[in-house]
Structure 1
Amino acid sequence: MIGVAMEPEQLRGEAFRARIERLEEIMLSPLAQRSYPARRRRPEPDSTHRTPFQRDRDRIVHSKAFRRLKHKTQVFIAPGGDHYRTRLTHTLETCGIARNVARALGLNEDLTEAICLGHDLGHAPFGHIGEQVLDECAREYFGRGFRHNEHSLRVVDVLERDGQGLNLTEQVRDGILRHTGPEQPATLEGRIVRLVDRIAYINHDIDDALRAGVLDRSELPRAEIELLGETGSERIETLVRDLIDHSAAAGDIVQGEEVGAAMARLRSFMFDRVYLGPEAQREQPRIERMLRALFAHYVEHPPPALAAQASLADRVIDWLAGMTDRFAIRAFQELAVPKGF
């Protein structure tokens, strides 16, 4: 407290933890994850002024992989305008929506935020196409696949801090790994991120597709737009209110049947028309040629190992998955474009 002599560090830490624990008992739902005790692979002393999940959040934000997200494609590759989303802006938009949902449901906002900020750290360059090509190459050369959620976990566990990893809590690691794929996250906070990730990207990708002229507003599926809303903000508001109302009643993270089905149909529309549509198909052969050439080159000329005891497959996949779009283009140009004598 101000005006009181400073306590020893350990006592300050214990007082901070006790205060947070009291507040969480008052403020959080019984279903929420509590901030203490921290469950980490390598035990470490608690901070005197941040909860374990706040520390995880800060470690992610200060990581190299997080900074690279600003130069990784969300949907549109090397867009000409300044207002198209990147992996970084997608992450931040998802984070804002997810914290709102967690607060409304009395769940742990700090845990929700940390999962959000880390969920796409392992994404390959060039969006959906890049992930697909990297997966195909990994299977052809090494008999193993590539999934960005699994690689996101490898980034925080192993690759950051020069191979030491970030030593995140078990709950954050689980949420990052299971934000997509067949298994549900173990925590309600992780399940928020899993669903809000889709809410965010469907709606901001519609906005970007309209801006790019890939879609005309008249082409959007009418019944779904009438139910969810004409604008992105209206649709997000509808989806968030539905999610909060039904989750509060169910004690789980769920959507209403009508709104959830409409969102699923809108997502299918976006895959057909945008993510795997004609514009994406036009770019795919060039991206595929570039990434396949880089993959083959690095198999023959292994890049630096980013972690101890990395196999050849690890070295190639870690290096390529960590590239930004512009770094990959520059690396390909150095291999493919003749240089003067």
Structure 2
Amino acid sequence: MTIREEIERIEERILSPYATLSSRSKGRAHPEEKCSVRTDFQRDRDRIIYSKAFRRLKHKTQVFISPEGDHYRTRLTHTLEVSQIARTIARSLRLNEDLTEAIALGHDLGHTPFGHAGERVLQEICPLGFKHNEQSVRVVEKLEKNGKGLNLTYEVLNGILCHTGEQKAETLEGCIVKFADRIAYINHDIEDAIRGGVISQDELPKSCLKVLGNTSGERINNMIVNIIENSRDKGEISMSDEFREATEELRNFMFRNVYIGSSAKAEEGKAENLIRSLYYKLTEQPELLPAEFYNKIDEEGIERVVCDYIAGMTDRYAINTFNSIFIPARWMRF
């Protein structure tokens, strides 16, 4: 018996009847020989961590564009925080922690530079449309490893696709990540907004704090515990009505006071114009694309290729690319 098989037998013994067992995965689009040490979901987690798209998250906006302070979140730190919250819930409910972690680590791989500002622009101008969750799936299926993709399991792909929007994941592990994502970004964005002077602690709605807690740590812990208590020995992941309503009210507060029109978003108009300018320029002059993207135009179409290229950029790479295309270099004579 291999180590992987031992782990799979342990899962069958100790995990909840509602857990997704590694040994019963629906598999990969391209069948592979099993690893002797790792389960399929553990391999998926590792492939995501080792991917280029994952490394690029460290230079992608969460809320604040190119923040100067060392303690503001990036898309990478957000992803790690989502993973930790999701794992805690999964472990407490005896669900598959490896599957949960893989989904959490991969959920934002398709996010654009400059956060949701970049996503809005691509959704607006690309005829094919754009959603970051769909792009995350595209990244792991078609863009990573020079077009080969990561060949992840069905369950991980489904969880990544369904981490946002109306679609519900087919596994409870995927449902956990959807909750964990919201818990993370609401509370950690509050911390960053307070640190940046965009809002103050006193402005937070008192009715929400009374239910959820006064500090970020209290709220995160209480929300996690509430989900665990309301989901134990059930075939669904849920919050109590009181917590769900307070969470939604706090999220709406953040949209009104931080995510839309606040000083934290003062540079978003510039970021949107940058993305828009790059998109139109590259579709008009595809020869400006790197060779690995230019060579895909016949197969994928110019709109898809340009969208893939821009969505994969970090904030600073997008700025540098814009400068190289639109800003004249200084003439130097020695």
TM bucket (normalised to shorter chain) is over 0.9
Q: Which amino acid aligns with 2:47?
A: R
For residue 30 of structure 1, give the secondary structure of its aligned residue in structure 2: coil
The answer for the alignment partner of 2:12 in structure 1 is 25
1:74–1:85 Cα contact (<8 Å) kept:
yes
* Superposition map of 1:160-239 within 5 A: 160-239=144-223
In structure 2, relative to structure 1, the CA distance for the partners of 1:277 and 1:88 (3 Å cut) is same
Computed over aligned residues only, the root mean square deviation of the Cα atoms, in angstroms, reads 1.3
The answer for the alignment partner of 2:120 in structure 1 is 132
- Segments of structure 1 that go 5 or more residues without pairing to the other structure are 1-13
In the TM superposition, what is the alpha-carbon distance from 1:16 to its structure 2 partner?
2.4
Measure the CA separation in 1 of the matches of 2:233 and 2:39: 29
| 2:298 maps to 1:312 | no
For residue 72 of structure 2, give the secondary structure of its aligned residue in structure 1: coil
Q: Which amino acid aligns with 1:28?
A: L
Measure the CA separation in 2 of the matches of 1:68 and 1:44: 27
Measure the CA separation in 2 of the matches of 1:212 and 1:295: 31
| 2:316 maps to 1:332 | no
Measure the CA separation in 2 of the matches of 1:120 and 1:329: 21
In the TM superposition, what is the alpha-carbon distance from 1:282 to its structure 2 partner?
2.4
1:210–1:216 Cα contact (<8 Å) kept:
yes
Q: Which amino acid aligns with 2:15?
A: L
More displaced, 123-132 or 249-258?
249-258
Measure the CA separation in 2 of the matches of 1:88 and 1:296: 28
Q: Which amino acid aligns with 2:122?
A: L
In the TM superposition, what is the alpha-carbon distance from 1:37 to its structure 2 partner?
4.1
Q: Find 2:239's aligned residue among 244, 255, 259.
A: 255
Measure the CA separation in 2 of the matches of 1:160 and 1:292: 24
In the TM superposition, what is the alpha-carbon distance from 1:278 to its structure 2 partner?
2.2
For residue 161 of structure 1, give the secondary structure of its aligned residue in structure 2: coil
In the TM superposition, what is the alpha-carbon distance from 1:20 to its structure 2 partner?
1.8
TM-score when normalising by structure 2: 0.94
Percent identity over the alignment is 53
Q: Which amino acid aligns with 1:90?
A: H
Measure the CA separation in 1 of the matches of 2:263 and 2:131: 23
The answer for the alignment partner of 1:158 in structure 2 is 142
1:128–1:275 Cα contact (<8 Å) kept:
no
Size of the aligned set, in residue pairs, is: 324
Once the two structures are superposed, what CA deviation does each residue of 1:74-118 show, in whole Å capped at 9, x if it has no partner?
000011100000000000001011000000001000000000000
Measure the CA separation in 2 of the matches of 1:151 and 1:280: 26
In the TM superposition, what is the alpha-carbon distance from 1:277 to its structure 2 partner?
2.8
Once the two structures are superposed, what CA deviation does each residue of 1:287-306 show, in whole Å capped at 9, x if it has no partner?
12111111111111222454
The answer for the alignment partner of 2:93 in structure 1 is 105
Q: Which amino acid aligns with 2:152?
A: L
Measure the CA separation in 1 of the matches of 2:189 and 2:148: 35
For residue 43 of structure 1, give the secondary structure of its aligned residue in structure 2: coil
In the TM superposition, what is the alpha-carbon distance from 1:251 to its structure 2 partner?
2.7
Measure the CA separation in 2 of the matches of 1:186 and 1:173: 10
Measure the CA separation in 2 of the matches of 1:219 and 1:277: 16
The answer for the alignment partner of 2:74 in structure 1 is 86
The answer for the alignment partner of 1:70 in structure 2 is 58
More displaced, 314-323 or 242-251?
242-251
Measure the CA separation in 2 of the matches of 1:84 and 1:21: 39
In structure 2, relative to structure 1, the CA distance for the partners of 1:17 and 1:335 (3 Å cut) is closer
- Segments of structure 2 that go 5 or more residues without pairing to the other structure are none
Measure the CA separation in 1 of the matches of 2:259 and 2:233: 34
In the TM superposition, what is the alpha-carbon distance from 1:280 to its structure 2 partner?
4.6
Measure the CA separation in 2 of the matches of 1:76 and 1:284: 9
